Structure 1
Amino acid sequence: MDAAQHISIYSSGNRQPDYSPLQSTLDRLKKRTEENKVTINHTNTVVMHFCTSSQAVAHPQLSVGAHSLQLVQSTRLLGVTVDDRLSWKQHVINIVRTASYKLYMLRRLKSLGTPAKELRDVYTAFTLPTLMYASPAWSSSLTLTQQQQVERTQKRACRIILGPAYDGYDNALTILSLPRLSERHREALGKFGRGLLCHPCHQHFLPPDAPPPRCATRHINKLVPIRAPKTDRYKNSAIPSIVHMINSV
């Protein structure tokens, strides 16, 4: 049985976009798959129109062969939920819901008398990865409300683990030797950015003129700052946040 493969195709445009090149790409892809005796599952192929403009912009009407493709407002891409407004609202809802389901395991183990240290290990092994998955892509763009939604999930876990001994979130973090999720997210973003800076195959994701890393202890890598972001949405997104973080070290 052949394994299913996933592919993403994107195109950018202005307020009067021309979708014909995108349709041509789909036509060529369909032709090539037919030549290689591969079938495109058109029912699982969707179109998302990213648009943050307040003015109406024509939606793309694309097809694979005789099948018109469905236009969706959100979809999962490599485990991350993205939407057509470039917000992380639905992604936060999804990860908080999934993590909340996993907290049942903590409640059950707590009722069986499992020690707090072991409950902490269960949390970090089974629940925390849900709240951290691919966080460099989305954590810097969260609104304050979304940050609080994610943080409250860990707060609930601390309440379950400590039970009657719980005396405030900050005190619980100290007792359990857990950092805030916002700190974990920032650390993961910085680690990801330094990895991009040091990796010759991935450095192109950063702004051009990024300096090659040096081993000298006095050298501090600096990146060309992102020029005057027009929106807070872009300013707070991953790459500008990485540039700011590296330059502020």
Structure 2
Amino acid sequence: MGPLCFLILINDALTDTPHRWKYVDDSTVGIPINTRQPDYSPLQSTLDRLKKWTEENKVTINHNHTKTVVMHFCTSSQAVARPQLSVGAHPLQLVQSTRLLGVTVDDRLWKQHVINIVRTASYKLYMLLRLKSLGTPAKELREVYTAFILPTLMYASPAWSSSLTLTQQQQLERTQKRACKFILGPAYDGYDNALTTLSLPRLSERHREALGKFGRGLLYHPRHRHFLPPDASPPRCATRHINKLVPIRAPTTDQYKNSAIPSIVHMINSV
């Protein structure tokens, strides 16, 4: 009953702000700002109300500098005033990256996350080398890769995979390429041939498939359907292509165009 009672206790926290994301005891709040005239007072007011809520409900915010932090996302080429926020008497540290539910988010979104998962997966590749030296067959090595290493490269990929740069995609693909070399050994004859031999798709294909599956889940989910635009109106006359969802307004930046929700809308309407 402990976890259930805790969820009931914190359920009404931060209900007065639309830009909130909660998962068990982790909470994230944010506001969009005008880069020409940045105003962080609404966010500070939210933090003040949260502090008051914790006092009334006799719970404590973890003020550790790695737990409660501020991150400023800004793609403007002009200098923008940085936020100076606090929770009660505790000023919040402004950081360039932080870990949120297992995903590293930085002020450029996913650069540090890709570095981290490539590093972690590379450490795990030693497992393949060790098993290969003990005479483990390639078929079993493939199963080890898909069970212990591939999940590192796929974790929460619908959130970040569509926003990767070409360089970041190549970094991830090179990790799987190394795994294929370790599994096949002297029999390795090029990446494409190795994927065919091991019946493995490219990581980019896996990421796209996971994004599409996640999008279809949102489309038919009774509670999370609001993350996607509404259904498109039926046409008055027959057309060659009918949109399933209302197309998102033309994005002003490629960064937004390639983000998760616009990419999902484009995929659903293209099917």
Q: Deviations over 1:109-159 (max 9, x none)?
A: 111111111100000000000000111111111111110000000000000
SS of 1:145's partner is: helix
Q: CA deviation at 1:207?
A: 1.4
2:191 aligned residue: 169
1:170-185 mapped onto 2 (5 Å cutoff): 170-185=192-207
More deviation in 195-204 or 144-153? 195-204
Distance 2:234 2:211 in 1: 20
Pick closer, same or farther for the CA change 1:131–1:27 going to 2, 3 Å.
same
Describe the superposition over 1:169-201 as per-residue Cα deviations: whole angstroms up to 9, x where unpaired.
111111111111010001001101111111121
Which residue of structure 1 aligns with residue 10 of structure 2?
none
Partners of 2:98 and 2:218 in 1: how far apart?
26
Cα distance in 2 for partners of 1:56, 1:106 equals: 47
Unpaired runs of 5+ residues, structure 1, are 1-6
**d(CA) in 2 for partners of 1:209, 1:13:** 30
**If the length of structure 2 is used for normalisation, what is the TM-score?**
0.82
Shift of 1:15: 2.6
| TM-superposed deviation, 1:18 | 1.5
2:218 aligned counterpart, secondary structure:
helix
Q: Is the 8 A contact 2:96 2:106 kept in 1?
A: yes
Please state how far the C-alpha of 1:44 moved relative to its aligned partner.
Answer: 2.3
1:195-233 deviations in whole A, cap 9, x for unaligned? Answer: 111112111111133579999999977111122111111
Alignment partners' CA distance in 1, 2:88 and 2:66: 12
* Cα distance in 2 for residues equivalent to 1:106 and 1:43: 34
2:98 match: secondary structure: strand
Q: 1:200 to 1:214 in 2, by over 3 A?
A: farther
Shift of 1:37: 2.3
Residues 146-155 or 60-69, more deviating: 60-69
Tell me, yes or no, if the aligned pair for 1:213 and 1:221 is still in contact at 8 Å: no
Is the Cα contact below 8 Å between 1:197 and 1:210 reproduced in 2?
Answer: no
**TM-score normalized by the length of structure 1:** 0.89
- Tell me, in whole angstroms, the C-alpha distance in 2 between the residues paired with 1:228 and 1:215: 25
Q: 2:30·2:43 contact (CA, 8 Å) conserved in 1? A: no
Q: d(CA) in 1 for partners of 2:235 and 2:129?
A: 47
Q: Is the 8 A contact 2:251 2:257 kept in 1?
A: yes
* Aligned mates of 1:117, 1:149 — CA distance in 2: 25
Contact 2:65–2:93, Cα closer than 8 Å, also in 1: no
The offset of 1:25, in angstroms, is 1.4
Q: Which moved more, 1:177-186 or 1:220-229?
A: 220-229
Distance 1:58 1:201, change over 3 A: same
Does the CA contact (< 8 Å) of 1:42 and 1:64 recur in 2?
no
Percent of aligned pairs with the same residue?
90
Unaligned runs of 5+ in 2: 1-28
- Could you tell me how far 1:81 is from its partner in structure 2? 1.2
Shift of 1:77: 1.0
CA distance in 2, matches of 1:193, 1:151: 23
Alpha-carbon separation, structure 2, partners of 1:212 and 1:111: 61
Q: Deviation digits for residues 51-72 of structure 1, max 9, x if unmatched?
A: 1111111111011122211000
Give distance in 1, aligned partners of 2:102 and 2:160.
12
- Segment of structure 1 superposing worse, 19-28 or 205-214: 205-214
The residue number in structure 2 matching 1:33 is 54
Assess if the C-alpha contact under 8 Å between 2:244 and 2:269 holds in 1: yes
* CA deviation profile, 1:27-70 (whole Å, cap 9, x unmatched): 12112212222221466210001111111111110111222110
Q: Quick check: 11-20 or 64-73, which moved more?
A: 11-20
Higher relative contact order, structure no. (Cα contacts within 8 Å, ≥ 6 residues apart): 1
| 2:38 pairs with 1:17 | yes
Cα distance in structure 2, aligned partners of 1:32 and 1:225: 39
**Among residues 206, 211, 217, which one is paired with 1:189 in the alignment?**
211
Q: Distance in 2 between matches of 1:208 and 1:102?
A: 43
Q: d(CA) in 2 for partners of 1:43 and 1:31?
A: 22
Contact 2:231–2:244 under 8 Å retained in 1 = no
Q: Which moved more, 1:231-240 or 1:217-226?
A: 217-226
RMSD: 3.2
